[in-house]
Amino acid sequence: MKSVVSGYVPLTFASFLAVMTALTVCGAHIFDGDGSDEAGFIPPPPRKEIPPPPANMAGGETFIPYPPPPATPASRSEKKNPPKPPTMFTKLTSQYGEQDWNARPNDLNNLLKALKGMAEVDYDFEAKSFAEIDADPDQNPILYRSGHYHWSLNDEEKKKLREYLLRGGTIILNAGMGSKPFYDSAIKVLNEVFPEAPVRRLSPDHPIFHAYYSLDRVNYRPGVRSLFNGNEPWLDGVTIDCRTVAIVSRFGMEVGWDPLEDDAIIAYEPESAQQLGMNILSYASAMRNWTLENMKKTRFEDAKQVSVAGSMNIAQVIYDGEWKTRHVGLSVLLSQYNVKTGVPVKFSTKELRLTDPKLFDAPVLYLTGHESFTLKPDEITALRNYLTHGGLLIAEACCGRKAFDVSFRENLARVLPGTSFSALRSGHPLFRMPNDISSMKVTPALAKSYNNAPAIAPQVLTVEIDGNPAVIYSPIGMAGAWELSPNKYCNSYLEDDALKLGVNILMYSSTR
């Protein structure tokens, strides 16, 4: 005979979930490695209790106080339900249960209602596990994952996420109420998915902060002040080919979309959270459409007959930051240079750090980026030695981004103290060979800064050493146009003119 312990109740699956939920509500440890024992962990808020049935109704009992009305055949003129809106968001579930991924169950629902009221766009959302996600973004355009515990993916899931994002999808990762273990794990996973493009904080001039509302400043809950004293919006992201494919929010947005009255939480105020959500949706939608239009790019490879001797070749500078904004632009430019001038070119661009011993083997360096960056002291010294010994640096602020522009000028002041930029005037040899350039057509985004003028004078800045150009810099974007695909937020020259100016810069650099 089996012994029976008094008071023991077999643990059903439903009971197990109830226990897990109770532990989660209390902020207790659930599984090894869930992050609940780490600094900065914030447990999900308690879920609202389901109201009990009326006193005259037993639990599980079905009670109909009055007889139902007689069935009536539906009239053919009866109005039909409106079609279901298209699904824009897919809410990712969690292995830690609904309390982790759905702690604020009305977050997306309220956000989408607000978006419909603000911009008259009507979208729906669904909930799926990552295993159910299709790598085709058409099936799930924007993934949204909010959580308090660690977020993790296995190797196959990381591969799938990378494919999904490169094909035009977007993922938003939100630290629930500012829970740090989720934030840290999200950064870790994304860095493993894109080791070539580490997660970086998005600068205030990033188009995601200006896609619908201009959010130079936002309002935070008082709890944020224990970590951050500024009023600028704070998002981190992974940017590939001028498109931010993954967005990470350090401060909770979900408690702004589904408000929770608690000033101690690390989150945005509701209005700022809604505006930020609108911007993210606008940016992700526009950039996805742009990606679909520009999926196919041409990469030029070295022909066997092209020799290294006497050929034009460029080395791209690697630095700690977003140093590679486009993957094909330089090869397209070199191809056009070869067609226009007949000069052999080397398509396989070297990529090296300024401290690389092979730096002096490169006659021309190319440096670009979107975001702020700071060169290390040994990189400053190396670049100074390179430029003062006859090397040439060609640089551009990709997409015309101000964050890069400011940082580049600051770094160059450290490299060449006491020097300053000079703007090339109309008629300068750089604007005459091999293309005669007097004006440049620009993107609509840049035109807004020039009273909607469709074309402007070319803007090229130089720094000279002993009368010779050492630096040629464009504060206006070119690389996206070299790839024949500047995006809608890009402050750039248009395709044909950008290629003409790029070819002229290469010609000038070879004849200086």
For 464-479, how does the pLDDT look when each residue is reduced to its tens digit (9 = 90+)?
A: 999 899 999 999 999 9
Q: How far is CA 473 from the centre of its chain?
A: 25
pLDDT at position 292, please? 78
Place of tokens 């993790």: 152
Please name the residues in contact with 464: beta carbons below 8 A apart, sequence gap of 6 or more. Answer: 419, 422, 470
Report how far residue 88's alpha carbon sits from residue 74's, in angstroms, rounded to the nearest whole number.
Answer: 33
| Alpha helical stretches, state H, 148-227 | 155-166, 180-193
pLDDT at position 1, please? 39
State pLDDT tens for residues 155-168.
999 999 999 999 99
State the DSSP string of 315-372: EEEE-SS-----SSHHHHHHHHHHHHH---B--S-EEEETT-GGGGG-SEEEEEESS-
* Residues 481/495, Cβ–Cβ less than 8 Å: yes
Report how far residue 198's alpha carbon sits from residue 189's, in angstroms, rounded to the nearest whole number.
Answer: 10
For residue 315, count CB atoms less than 10 angstroms from its CB and return exposed for 0-12, middle for 13-18, buried for 19 or more: buried
pLDDT at position 459, please? 96
pLDDT at position 327, please? 87
State pLDDT tens for residues 297-313.
544 444 444 444 446 77
CATH (residue range 87-293): 3.40.50.12140
For domain 315-511, give its CATH number from 3.10.129.10, 3.40.50.12140, 3.40.710.10, 1.10.10.10. Answer: 3.40.50.12140
pLDDT at position 302, please? 45
Which helix or strand (DSSP H or E) is residue 66 part of?
none
Domain with CATH 3.40.50.12140 in the chain: 87-293, 315-511
* Residues 398/368, Cβ–Cβ less than 8 Å: yes
User: Strands 422-423 and 350-353, how do they pair?
Assistant: unpaired
* Residues 194/153, Cβ–Cβ less than 8 Å: no
For residue 250, count CB atoms less than 10 angstroms from its CB and return exposed for 0-12, middle for 13-18, buried for 19 or more: buried
Q: How far is CA 274 from the centre of its chain?
A: 18
pTM of the model: 0.84
User: Strands 422-423 and 461-465, how do they pair?
Assistant: antiparallel
pLDDT tens series, the chain, 512 aa: 333 333 333 334 333 344 444 444 444 456 778 999 999 999 998 876 555 555 544 444 444 344 444 455 555 555 666 677 888 899 999 999 999 999 999 999 998 988 888 777 788 999 999 999 999 999 999 999 999 999 999 999 999 999 999 999 999 999 999 999 999 999 999 999 999 999 999 999 999 999 999 999 999 999 999 999 999 999 999 999 999 999 999 999 999 999 998 999 999 999 999 999 999 999 998 898 888 777 655 444 444 444 444 467 789 999 999 999 998 899 899 999 999 998 888 776 789 999 999 999 999 999 999 999 999 999 999 999 999 999 999 999 999 999 999 999 999 999 999 999 999 999 999 999 999 999 999 999 999 999 999 999 999 999 999 989 999 999 999 999 999 999 999 999 999 999 999 999 999 998 87
Phi/psi for 298 (5° steps) reads: -100, 125
pLDDT at position 47, please? 72
pLDDT at position 119, please? 74
Helices 402-415, 377-388: inter-axial angle, 10-degree rounding? 70
* Residues 283/206, Cβ–Cβ less than 8 Å: no
Report how far residue 308's alpha carbon sits from residue 335's, in angstroms, rounded to the nearest whole number.
Answer: 15
pLDDT at position 69, please? 47
Report how far residue 144's alpha carbon sits from residue 109's, in angstroms, rounded to the nearest whole number.
Answer: 12
